[in-house]
Structure 1
């Protein structure tokens, strides 16, 4: 008998109270329904989370892929990670330049190398070897995501504005997977890498849980991130909600904010945040699709 499937998405934690996110809501709603339909047709969790994150990268609505902002040297550097819980294998790229879909490059690391994380020029070379798409005209390709104003890109030391996209899924075979992608902090220092591409911090999946994080990456690194949530369940007997809340409380103690989406092998889902809102959506077998911003 098929396992009850579920997909959860996030488009980044932190929303401005006066800005209009209806376009984001519409996109998340359509995408989560599309992903749920794929899972209902028997697609694998790993394929669906990659598809979901690639769609968010392509939209330009979020701080990832096409919506990524330049660093303090005027160059767009992206990070991404993906993990297949059924195989306990992961792949990630960081400080990658010119990739249309950083998440596709992360999947290439998982599938075609013995490594977990490849940086910079090495990530670009792997993408070339795998025939992945590259940005040919940066000015035409990149755009400001919804909720970000041009003047915020000039305020490099004022609040660490951030954004990330992610997806977690449980498929009909009971397999779990997670994928996360980001353009990083707006106006970040060139070469800066946050939590997103670090397997076990910004992204994690195993046989029991799949997690994708969003927020101030440095704080998530200090707090233990996604793997801390899994450990609280495995070793401490905490439930999914408790584990996510405890990790986010530690993020707050580290002077950070953000959010997390997680699904466990039973199909339970948590979408928690300690920031002013988080763009999020969930759908699955026997569930009414939900989209939320604040």
Structure 2
């Protein structure tokens, strides 16, 4: 049995058209289904799915990120392997095309979980990861806000993927450009295990939203801990989003358990997401619940 779910951010607004994102998310799911059918691991598939989302420029991550108040692009990402709970992350990474690939290298090639700022960039360079080069030519500047107007408050966007492979392993990966108009050096939930990303033997989770609130409730980890305490996946995921809403935050999350159940609650107008069920069915939604 295999399954996956991915998201392209919970900042969707009803006045915008997301046809291109819907088509792309389906393409990513189909490509990852082929990998799973060929026996690839949950971790590899989660990373490759997020790398495709980063490279598309359609979402507020990777190529589609927006600059901070100093007009610099600081990107965050993390991943977690549920089979042994290894994790890797980068925060405030500048100058490299794929934050999630850099986070994978941190996990695989260092004794650390997270590298940040200049240290993350030096590491990426030393590992031969692909640099951006000309930022003006690379970034698609999706950063005027999801509604194509100057953003207000903690407007946001993120991408992520949760995967269950044929060996029963779970993994999660998340990548973001952060909230729009953020202060230099701001880091949200995305690169923090248990806040924006989580995977263990029971559940994989990836969050998207106002990261400050996700950090405060340990959102991704809390879903798994609720499931471990006996809650159903949907109940656990919705309970965490409700808690974030009670604090005044918005966003959503995707979750997948070892039985192939999926959940994708959100309290924003919409959340771009797509999934492959254990029965082999593909679904794509932006605004439907």
TM-score normalised by the chain length of structure 1: 0.95
Q: Does structure 1 residue 197 correspond to structure 2 residue 194?
A: no
Question: Shift of residue 254 of structure 1?
Answer: 1.7
Q: Distance in 2 between matches of 1:150 and 1:260?
A: 23
Which residue of structure 2 aligns with residue 238 of structure 1? 231
Question: Shift of residue 148 of structure 1?
Answer: 3.3
Q: Distance in 2 between matches of 1:198 and 1:282?
A: 24
Q: Does structure 1 residue 170 correspond to structure 2 residue 164?
A: yes
Which consecutive residues of structure 2, in runs of 5 or more, have no partner in the other structure? none
Question: 2:132 aligns to what SS in structure 1?
Answer: coil
Which residue of structure 1 aligns with residue 103 of structure 2? 106
Which residue of structure 1 aligns with residue 75 of structure 2? 78
Q: Is the 8 A contact 2:13 2:147 kept in 1?
A: no
Question: Shift of residue 75 of structure 1?
Answer: 0.2
What are the equivalent positions in structure 2 for 1:108-127 lying under 5 Å apart?
108-127=105-124
Structure 2 counterpart of 1:251, from 229, 244, 247: 244
Structure 1 counterpart of 2:146, from 145, 148, 170: 148
Aligned length: 286
Q: Is the 8 A contact 1:6 1:171 kept in 2?
A: yes
What are the equivalent positions in structure 2 for 1:206-245 lying under 5 Å apart?
206-234=200-228, 236-245=229-238
Question: Shift of residue 271 of structure 1?
Answer: 1.2
Q: Does structure 1 residue 186 correspond to structure 2 residue 183?
A: no
Structure 1 runs of 4+ aligned residues shifted over 2 Å read 144-151
Structure 1 counterpart of 2:269, from 264, 273, 276: 276
Structure 1 counterpart of 2:53, from 34, 38, 56: 56
Question: Shift of residue 116 of structure 1?
Answer: 0.8
Q: Deviations over 1:37-72 (max 9, x none)?
A: 111110100000000000000000000000000000
Q: Distance in 2 between matches of 1:243 and 1:136?
A: 43
Q: Deviations over 1:138-188 (max 9, x none)?
A: 101001339736641xx5xx2211000000000000000000000001110
Q: Is the 8 A contact 1:144 1:150 kept in 2?
A: no
Q: Deviations over 1:237-277 (max 9, x none)?
A: 11101110111111112211111111111111111111111
Question: 1:194 aligns to what SS in structure 2?
Answer: coil
Q: Distance in 2 between matches of 1:122 and 1:173?
A: 35
Question: 2:161 aligns to what SS in structure 1?
Answer: strand
Q: Does structure 1 residue 39 correspond to structure 2 residue 36?
A: yes
CA-based RMSD of the aligned residues comes to 1.2
Structure 2 counterpart of 1:161, from 155, 164, 172: 155
TM-score normalised by the chain length of structure 2: 0.96
Question: Shift of residue 287 of structure 1?
Answer: 2.9
Which consecutive residues of structure 1, in runs of 5 or more, have no partner in the other structure? none
Q: Does structure 1 residue 67 correspond to structure 2 residue 64?
A: yes
Question: Shift of residue 286 of structure 1?
Answer: 1.8
Question: 1:273 aligns to what SS in structure 2?
Answer: coil
